[in-house]
């Protein structure tokens, strides 16, 4: 819908005598502290005018329907239409039905991606969306009240020791990978990262913040007096290795706890999401005198894939050594080295080369020296597995070049570059089966055709993410990896030696077996493992 606003919102509101110039100045002063807050929301938060009149005027200025949304205005069960997770991501709340249309409130009606995501979800249910705007603060408050993922498990009236213990144990029960203790203006917010998404666990009174921080420092073996960034570990829980990081912010000290399960089982690589093709698996990892590199951002499952590969390669006649920070899973038959403050990947790798290894796992290539020795190790009879941070498999070559590795060494040593991302699996307990819409088919076919791939929709259905107690009302449970695999064949080697660009290398690779991440993602949508909405949230494909 076209917007009528032609001047800054403050001026338009002042013209309508909703606010004064003094109100604008107060709001702008507040915005210096909270730069992400919009002017309209600030005026509402500071009670500088009547909120009903304010939202009505904003709606007129933006040419949008507007409502001062409160809990009592919600006349339907939100999770019947979209999952709470989708609602939070897109800052949208369905709140009523009228004349066959479903009313949906947005915090930002200029966010076309959010609006299109919700519109498509509701269209899949045969519903036409009627768009409204409301204050973001109201919308966030309502969504937070609906979430309460751990409120039944955590009693904030307990003593500090018991409270911190309860927060940590609840995180373990909820399958959280991280716990965030975040000082806010008026409270201490605790959030869990579950299946890659941050969700609220509990809010604690601000006056308890110093005691909770003191307790976290005590059990993490940190300095109590220091407020600078610190790192520590919690070893109170026998099944977990908990890494702790602190960082000072404007309201105190934020703590992040990374929960690493000590005896987590190693999953079969096909269960992780690797294409179910034994020949491709052999071509990717059954190597000698070379290096295989897995590329992805932090938290996208690189280490899990490496463990699965190492477990597959682990045999009595093979000497395997790993260099990790930290050792997340202990595997029988391996020589596992953990990096500490006195050693580095580089120092450990130099020592390991004198230990007669057949296979070396280097947790991460972080610098030029480690990259150089890892490549040299691959040239001297070893098979090296490692990870690197790049956006896709082809860019592994570019990253190694930037680290100073010669084109000749890359071409002669790099055997496979693999990129991966994690997407959430639709919850098997509450998912709803449905047919693909024509619009979804068109989106998927357009992408597949770009890479000369044909998708077969015959007999295939998809699922609607709903939300239940087992998945914390998210609609998704656990994650699966999408992979793109670049085998460095003779044609690619030649291009590397000729210093071809990543674009040229990708064009040649696409003529062979290489396909980008999105293609594996589309296949997993067709298999019913994830949804098109989740794939879009990860890769932004429409």
CB 534 within 8 A of CB 424: yes
Question: Does the pLDDT value for residue 5 go beyond 60?
Answer: no
pLDDT at res. 271? 94
Mean pLDDT of all residues in 94-119: 92
| CA torsion through residues 117, 120, 123, 129, sign | positive
Q: Any idea what DSSP says for residue 467?
A: -
Q: How far apart are CA 378 and CA 11, in angstroms?
A: 66
Q: Considering only CA atoms, give the Rg of the chain.
A: 26
Structure confidence by residue, pLDDT tens digits, 253-274: 999 999 988 777 788 999 999 9
pLDDT digits (tens, 9 = 90+) for 305-351: 999 999 999 989 999 999 888 787 788 889 999 887 778 888 888 88
Q: What are phi and psi of 445, to 5 degrees?
A: -65, -35
pLDDT band at 4 (very low <50, low <70, confident <90, very high): low
Convert the pLDDT of each residue in 375-425 to its tens digit.
988 988 899 999 999 999 999 999 999 999 999 999 999 999 999 999 999
Check whether 35 has a pLDDT greater than 90. Answer: no
Average pLDDT, the chain: 90
Domains of the chain: 9-144 (3.30.300.160), 148-261 (3.30.450.90), 269-424+480-514 (3.40.50.300)
Strand order in the sheet with 320-324: 335-338, 320-324, 359-362, 383-388, 290-295, 414-426, 476-487
pLDDT tens digits, one per residue of 62-106? 999 999 998 888 888 887 788 877 888 899 999 999 888 999 999
- State residue 153's pLDDT score: 63
Most confident of 52-66, 132-146, 154-168, 366-380: 52-66
> How confident is the model over 210-256, as pLDDT tens digits?
999 999 999 999 999 878 899 999 999 988 989 999 999 989 999 99
Tens digit of each residue's pLDDT (9 = 90 or more) over 181-218: 999 888 899 999 999 988 888 889 999 999 999 999 99
pTM of the predicted model, to two decimals? 0.76
pLDDT surpassing 90 at residue 495? yes
């Amino acid at each position: 819908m076209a917007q009528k606003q032609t001047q800054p919102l403050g001026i338009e509101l002042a013209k309508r005598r909703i606010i004064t110039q003094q109100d604008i100045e107060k709001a702008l002063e507040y915005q210096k502290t909270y730069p992400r807050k919009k002017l309209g929301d600030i005026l509402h938060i500071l009670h500088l005018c009547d909120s009903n009149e304010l939202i009505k005027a904003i709606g007129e200025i933006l040419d949008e329907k507007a409502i001062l949304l409160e809990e009592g205005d919600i006349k339907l069960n939100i999770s019947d239409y979209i999952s709470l997770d989708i609602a939070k991501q897109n800052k949208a709340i369905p709140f009523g039905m009228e004349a066959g249309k479903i009313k949906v409130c947005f915090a930002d009606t200029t966010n076309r991606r959010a609006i299109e995501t919700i519109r498509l979800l509701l269209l899949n249910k045969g519903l036409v969306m009627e768009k409204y705007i409301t204050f973001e603060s109201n919308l966030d408050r309502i969504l937070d009240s609906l979430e309460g993922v751990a409120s039944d498990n955590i009693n904030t009236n307990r003593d500090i020791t018991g409270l911190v213990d309860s927060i940590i144990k609840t995180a373990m029960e909820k399958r959280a990978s991280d716990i965030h203790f975040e000082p806010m203006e008026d409270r201490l917010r605790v959030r869990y990262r579950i299946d890659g998404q941050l969700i609220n666990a509990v809010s604690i009174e601000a006056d308890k913040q110093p005691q909770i921080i003191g307790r976290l420092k005590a059990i993490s073996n940190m300095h109590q007096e220091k407020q600078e960034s610190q790192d520590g570990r919690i070893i109170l829980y026998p099944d977990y290795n908990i890494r702790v990081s602190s960082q000072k912010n404007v309201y105190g000290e934020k703590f992040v706890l990374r929960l690493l399960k000590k005896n987590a089982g190693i999953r079969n690589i096909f269960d992780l999401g690797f294409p179910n093709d034994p020949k491709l698996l052999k071509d990717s990892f059954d190597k000698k005198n070379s290096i295989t590199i897995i590329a992805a951002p932090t938290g996208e499952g690189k280490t899990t894939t490496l463990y699965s590969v190492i477990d597959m390669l682990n045999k009595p006649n093979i000497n395997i050594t790993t260099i990790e920070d930290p050792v997340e899973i202990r595997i029988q038959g391996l020589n596992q080295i953990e990096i500490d403050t006195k050693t580095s990947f580089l120092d450990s790798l130099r020592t390991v080369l004198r230990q007669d290894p057949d296979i070396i796992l280097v947790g991460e290539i972080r610098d030029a020296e480690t990259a150089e020795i890892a490549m040299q190790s691959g040239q001297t009879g070893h098979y090296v597995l490692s990870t690197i941070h790049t956006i896709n498999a082809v860019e592994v070559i570019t990253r190694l070049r930037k680290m100073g590795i010669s084109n000749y060494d890359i071409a002669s040593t790099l055997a496979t570059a693999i990129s991966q991302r994690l997407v959430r699996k639709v919850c098997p307990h509450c998912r709803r089966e449905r047919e693909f819409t024509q619009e979804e088919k068109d989106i998927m076919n357009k992408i597949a055709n770009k890479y000369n791939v044909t998708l077969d929709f015959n007999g295939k259905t998809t699922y609607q993410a709903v939300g239940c107690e087992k998945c914390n009302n998210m609609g998704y449970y656990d994650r699966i990896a999408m992979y793109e695999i670049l085998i460095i064949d003779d044609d690619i080697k030649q291009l590397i030696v000729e210093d071809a660009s990543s674009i040229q290398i990708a064009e040649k690779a696409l003529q062979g077996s290489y396909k980008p991440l999105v293609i594996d993602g589309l296949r997993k949508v067709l298999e019913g493992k994830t949804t098109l909405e989740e794939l879009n949230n990860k890769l932004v494909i429409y």
